[in-house]
Amino acid sequence: MDEDENISCCGMDCNKCSLHESYLCAGCNAVCGKVFHAPEGKECPIYYCSRIKNGFQTCGQCDQFPCDIILNTKDPELTDEEFMQSVEERAARLKRK
């Protein structure tokens, strides 16, 4: 499998996520954004905006990244500092693509 297959449109590396496959989550790209934390039958709002609404391969192609959608999807288990570090890491990962 191509390493990029597990980089979601928001820059998350699904291979490094503790929930990847533990909840039968194959990753954002594999399930077309319909991940376990999205409303039943709907795409993650980040995936919807990036891939469906705007036709981008990743959020890194958007001149508004990181946008309010990204910034409003903070994992409640992370501190503000940890979350912003995660956003910066994802942005850097997308710039390498």
Burial class (CB in 10 A: 0-12, 13-18, 19+), 11: buried
Q: What is the reported pTM?
A: 0.84
55-95 pLDDT, tens digit per residue, is: 999 999 999 999 999 999 888 889 999 999 999 999 999 98
The confidence score (pLDDT) of residue 10 equals: 94
Looking at the chain, the whole-number percentage of residues with pLDDT higher than 90 is: 59
Cα–Cα distance list, 78 to 72, 74, 85, 97 (Å): 13, 7, 10, 26
Is the distance from CB of 62 to CB of 50 less than 8 angstroms?
Answer: yes
Residue that wins the pLDDT comparison between 14 and 69: 69
Residue boundaries of the structural domains of the chain: 3-96
Q: Percent of the chain having pLDDT more than 70? A: 93
